[in-house]
Amino acid sequence: MTWHRTRRPVGVLLALTAAGGLLISGCSAGSDGGSKAGDASYDRPGGDSAPMPAPGRSGGPGGRYDGEPREGEQDSREVAPDPDYLSTFALDVDTASYGYARRTLAEGRLPDPSTVRPEEFVNSFRQDYERPGGDGFTVTVDGARTDEEDWSLVRVGLATRSAEASGERAPAALTFVIDISGSMAEPGRLDLAQRSLGTMTDRLRDDDSVALVTFSDEAETVLPMTRLGGNRGEIHDAVDSLEPTDSTNLGAGVETGYETAVEGLREGATNRVVLLSDALANTGETEADAILERIAESRREHGITLFGVGVGSDYGDALMERLADKGDGHTVYVSDEKGAREVFCEQLPRNIELTARDAKAQVAFDPGTVAEFRLVGYDNRRVADEDFRDDRVDGGEVGPGHTVTALYAVRTRPGAGGHLATATVRWLDPGSRTPHEETGDLETDGLVDSVWRARRGLTVTATAAYFADALRSPDHRYSALPGAPGLGELSERARSLADRTEDEDVRELAEAIRAADRLD
């Protein structure tokens, strides 16, 4: 694991003295290959650290990149002059990792550590963050002390407007790309998809459109883009006719799906490809980057996003996750009727539209109060700090009704008080691509004395993060996060939290932790 230690060079100390205090601000974006927060400058023998350029600013695609903030923007160089004080990542609303881990544990197996992504565990739970009145985000920053001296967990919560407050949405043009390979014959795969799609067809509006593409060893457009109004029977017949056949040419399915989506493209509508598969590609192109390259033009020119739905006890997690991340979308995993109904009949229809494109977050920590920090998860979503306001750098796509949570382990300096951190989220308007920002901050006296006595949302976040980190550790028993209990104690705390909140999602978390403890 990587811990990020902040240093206070002489220039910073002088700036702090002159200013009489430090306001922290930051924001972030994510893409593979970007530098991790704090990786830009490490302490070296002799106390030297390599100089790094200050964070820059940018206009939109092809816009200026002169390093100067726009009117109303706060320059991160003024509040966090050393790059080590910044953490930048792209927003991610994926939840597939947690769903797949629960499925694996229910079958009596521990999940492969490589499939465990802590941010997807954390983002699988409802949060009570304040919602904005219109498009954009609210930013909530809170935290609590852990049982380990000077260590706290700091939560950054971002929320879009509620789906119910969205009003009349634009029509949707959805291209469903369905895996009908032989492995989809397993109960709970294709049959589950068919039932869910059938119910969803009845719930979509008359002015929405649906296309259907299937793939096994080859891909086929079973139904071109078709309006729901007056054609629901035809759509039901197409869904009911699906049968599992041969191998899994996922690349051909995605490529044909995007071609079908482009052919049926509707101006003014939300155009999206929905991929449903176990992602066990074994024929044709099987590498995510090569598949994405084939559909790059459709994604860039037409703004078609990808929504991945994973199924099956054996599941190609890495392939599906990368396709969604780089396809400007997100992934979920379903294993039963309840989960499928929630995804297809509630989440998808409700969150068809987008409220933010290329959304990034950046957190700036106060060097006067913070000694070191670690972002929990988001390993493949981190971005170079200086790319935060470069709107050419890819971020995440977020719709209405979403919340995004990031958790940090933070060691404060003994006895230090005052400003601890400020988080900034930056996003582009989906239509005009105009950039916007919103910020929130946290003081040390805002830290609750214990994560186990914090508000429900923060305690649930900590529990989910401890669980994910434990599953990623070599022996599956002890988390690398500060103040982490063993799985046995964590199970008891989760069960107590479920009883106190009467929250079914938390109860399912407690059951998963208990199952992991028994298997360990």
pLDDT digits (tens, 9 = 90+) for 297-317: 777 788 888 889 999 888 999
User: What ranges do the domains of the chain cover?
Assistant: 23-42+50-86+132-162+356-446, 170-350
Q: What angle do helix axes 487-501 and 504-519 make, rounded to 10 degrees?
A: 160
In whole angstroms, give the CA distance from residue 115 to residue 448.
Answer: 32
23-42+50-86+132-162+356-446 and 170-350, same CATH topology: no
Classify strands 330-333 and 305-310 as parallel, antiparallel or unpaired: parallel
CB contact at 8 A, 360 and 396: yes
In whole angstroms, give the CA distance from residue 345 to residue 342.
Answer: 6
Per-residue pLDDT, 429: 92
* Entry pTM: 0.81
In whole angstroms, give the CA distance from residue 28 to residue 386.
Answer: 9
pLDDT digits (tens, 9 = 90+) for 476-509: 555 679 999 999 999 999 999 999 999 999 999 9
Which of 299, 225, 295 minimizes the C-alpha distance to 260? 225
CB contact at 8 A, 353 and 402: no
Task: Give the single-character DSSP code of 121.
Answer: H
Residue 26 has pLDDT above 50, yes or no: no
Residue 373's contacts (CB-CB under 8 Å, 6 or more residues apart) are 3, 4, 6, 37, 38, 87, 154, 365, 408, 409, 410, 411
Bridge partners for 273 per DSSP? 175, 306
CATH number attached to the domain at 23-42+50-86+132-162+356-446: 2.60.40
Per-residue pLDDT, 473: 83
pLDDT digits (tens, 9 = 90+) for 55-98: 332 222 222 223 344 444 443 334 444 546 899 999 988 999 99
DSSP helix, strand, coil percent of the chain (3-state; round to 5): 35, 25, 45
| Cβ count within 10 A of residue 144 | 23
pLDDT digits (tens, 9 = 90+) for 439-457: 999 999 999 999 999 999 9
Q: Which two tokens stand for residue 361?
A: 């977050």
pLDDT digits (tens, 9 = 90+) for 333-362: 998 888 888 888 777 766 677 889 999 999
**Average pLDDT score, the chain:** 82
CATH 3.30.750.200 fits 170-350, yes or no: no
Q: Which long-range contacts (CB under 8 A, 24 or more apart) does 497-500 make?
A: 497/456, 497/459, 497/460, 497/463
In whole angstroms, give the CA distance from residue 274 to residue 233.
Answer: 21
Q: Calculate Rg over the CA atoms of the chain.
A: 23
Residue 209 has pLDDT above 70, yes or no: yes
